[in-house]
Structure 1
């Protein structure tokens, strides 16, 4: 039997300012619920039924199954339009829509409590995230037990309820997930979080044996640095030891051709004041000149200084496929997909004016688009034009217009330091 925390009540404050704060919070909650209802009404009108799916597939527009089994699907490109009007990126908009569909169609008890303002929308969405992978029967089980106490149950209790529902109603899926967890090993280097202090967070999930070996290597490396005279703290020496391992053990002892650090650094510097802090394009974070100097002076680093890249310089080719020089300039200029609010870096080079329509392969007619938004532009009645290199005007299928500005700052050039 699960023991739930006792509910608490709140009296109205005698402070008029606090009363005003509460009033605004309630008004915001009302607005969130009304927005949720509007999104669900839109989804109901744009359901991709079984007959429509065939037509959608023939026209390359896919039905999106954003919630769990039993929830309706929606047309892909129509959903992109919704995300834009919600003021969200494509991924954030689709996530919101998926949560709304999960809540309405698979967690009806919880949805009713949200509409009645008995449960906060953010909390209901958290529960919806946890149930999307469940079968309809298991989701019904969670809704039955969680909905009455959703406003006060902990997320640990939610996880236990979801796990219990999965084990009871989907034992095969529970076992498959247990096995899949054994493959859930990763190392994440948060380069996007790099700052002018010159540090980056690294998070890893390892096999136990690998973790033990890493711990021994870090411990021994930190001790070696201390024996060599380092006065840094143990934590600092461990981080330095990991960096040394990255430089000297990159080949994993399977390939002896590694020659140490060989990273290409794209540094955006002010052409007028080159000594001022610039921008490291690799991570889109501030860059101090001293950092570049320190990297280049590290033992084992091969330094080759190449010409400055002027991103404003127009470059073109008579061929359909962009040259390396064109690709490099467009990539440095746009940095990521140029669809509104998209930040994906795995992208295609798209001819803004199609090659078949007379568009040339040039820096002023090419832009970066991720595969999803490339398909939306090609097949989904989305269109855009380049006002000038790096400045784009998009128009959605329903006529919504939005401008995306990826132009480099005035006076900024790029230097390559591989």
Structure 2
């Protein structure tokens, strides 16, 4: 029974991949000169209309980049790794493993990738996923060492440091891709600070907790330097006055730090922006939940931990009952603030609300008409969109209209309709869509949520 269900699940994933390949084939030619084509797969795979991605994603109730990955992996398997695809299509292996092999081998040209296909097709049905992926990486290097070297050079430009979404307790992951050498030094510094903190925190924190606290010290270089100096193990008879490993400017740097006034020392940490949304009741009581952009919900008491000892600049509270409007095409900053708070993030269907204010364009839901009536720019006709989503709406025949404060109605080129609001993205049936699309300007229609639940 377990074996049969596993095979059915695999074949269901294969059906989804076949549908993605069929969608790519249907949209394999541009409609006109302004219809851009993309090449999601590797060398030897067909092109696809970029504007077709979003509609497939909406139908699958997922993000467009997820749909793009599905199409790219499927086309790679069909056109570049046909032996491996035959094993996948028969339900004899996990499709996700084959898709990962497609990603690993994508930098290779169509000819050399055959070496990967032959090796993986013989192993993917009988070996653990980690073994198959390790084999694929080895064969990619063997198939084209020059491309691998070029890829290594390209990858160095893809180093990054990012923050995860906050969990419900106000904690986040710091995710970084750095060189092995830098990683070793960061790890050694964190370990050393954790050892020092153990003397004061060790009774109530395990070693991993201490390392987590130590990581926070890296963001406070002056405090960190003082901590390390206070706990330096000095032995004048064993070491010279300046260690051999120390840079020549070490003494001069320490002197400059000592000469800086307190405010300038604090400024070494740089400046950041933290957007906090909290009710007046929570402010008065000091209890409740606040929402921090890029972090998520936190207890009001935790705001002190987020702000630390930083200088805080407070921005005025927005009155969402107001309806600011402008005659200009460009959105004034007060209008942007209002639209951003009202929408809560990117308003494209199924788009994650992880974008920050600086990562979006403020787009007119109904196109701006220079000869039209005054007051076209405002929360009544605006929504934040990532640049990619903005371009799709402008050129990809996706229709949008504001359906109320923080509510946006979307229609795809083939007539699928979705409502995006604070509760997420919901598909509308034909009657609901027609009712909302035909509503006069300024009239809000709220379909019965129960119909969605049973639709």
Q: What TM bracket, shorter-length normalisation?
A: 0.7 to 0.9
Question: In 2, distance between residues paired with 1:407 and 1:316?
Answer: 26
Question: In 1, distance between residues paired with 2:197 and 2:3?
Answer: 57
1:395, distance to aligned residue in structure 2 (A): 0.5
Give the structure 2 partner of residue 414 of structure 1: none
1:280, distance to aligned residue in structure 2 (A): 2.4
Where structure 2 has 5 or more consecutive residues not aligned to the other structure, the ranges are 226-252, 425-455
Question: In 2, distance between residues paired with 1:267 and 1:238?
Answer: 28
Q: 1:273 to 1:174 in 2, by over 3 A?
A: closer
* CA displacement 1:245-270 (0-9 Å, x = unmatched): 313459x9899744358544333334
Give the structure 1 partner of residue 333 of structure 2: 324
Where structure 1 has 5 or more consecutive residues not aligned to the other structure, the ranges are 1-18, 409-418
* CA displacement 1:280-330 (0-9 Å, x = unmatched): 23235221111113445x3x3223444322334322223322222221222
Of 159, 174, 186, 1:202 maps to 174
Match status 1:115 vs 2:128: no
Q: 1:325 to 1:157 in 2, by over 3 A?
A: same
CA contact (8 A) 2:101 2:133 kept: no
Of 210, 213, 224, 1:240 maps to 213
Question: In 2, distance between residues paired with 1:284 and 1:104?
Answer: 41
Q: Which moved more, 1:254-263 or 1:132-141?
A: 254-263
* CA displacement 1:306-358 (0-9 Å, x = unmatched): 43223343222233222222212222332332111112622111011222263
CA contact (8 A) 1:262 1:302 kept: no
1:33, distance to aligned residue in structure 2 (A): 2.9
Give the TM-score taking structure 1 as reference length. 0.79
1:9-408 maps to which residues of 2 (within 5 A)?
Answer: 19=1, 25-48=6-29, 52=30, 56=32, 58-59=33-34, 61-182=35-156, 185-190=159-164, 192-196=165-169, 198-225=170-197, 231-233=203-205, 234-248=207-221, 257=264, 258-259=266-267, 262-270=271-279, 275=285, 277-296=288-307, 298=308, 300-343=309-352, 345=355, 346-356=359-369, 358=372, 360-406=376-422
* CA displacement 1:389-412 (0-9 Å, x = unmatched): 21111000111111111379xxxx
SS in structure 2 at match of 1:317: coil
CA RMSD of aligned residues (A): 3.2
SS in structure 1 at match of 2:84: helix
Q: 1:157 to 1:135 in 2, by over 3 A?
A: farther
1:88, distance to aligned residue in structure 2 (A): 1.7
Q: 1:221 to 1:317 in 2, by over 3 A?
A: same
1:207, distance to aligned residue in structure 2 (A): 3.7
1:209, distance to aligned residue in structure 2 (A): 4.7
Q: Which one has more relative contact order, counting CA pairs under 8 Å at least 6 apart?
A: 1
SS in structure 2 at match of 1:87: coil
CA contact (8 A) 1:334 1:368 kept: yes
Question: In 2, distance between residues paired with 1:80 and 1:295?
Answer: 37
Question: In 1, distance between residues paired with 2:68 and 2:338?
Answer: 31
SS in structure 2 at match of 1:369: strand
CA contact (8 A) 2:42 2:107 kept: yes
Question: In 2, distance between residues paired with 1:222 and 1:32?
Answer: 46
Question: In 1, distance between residues paired with 2:369 and 2:27?
Answer: 33
Q: 1:282 to 1:113 in 2, by over 3 A?
A: same
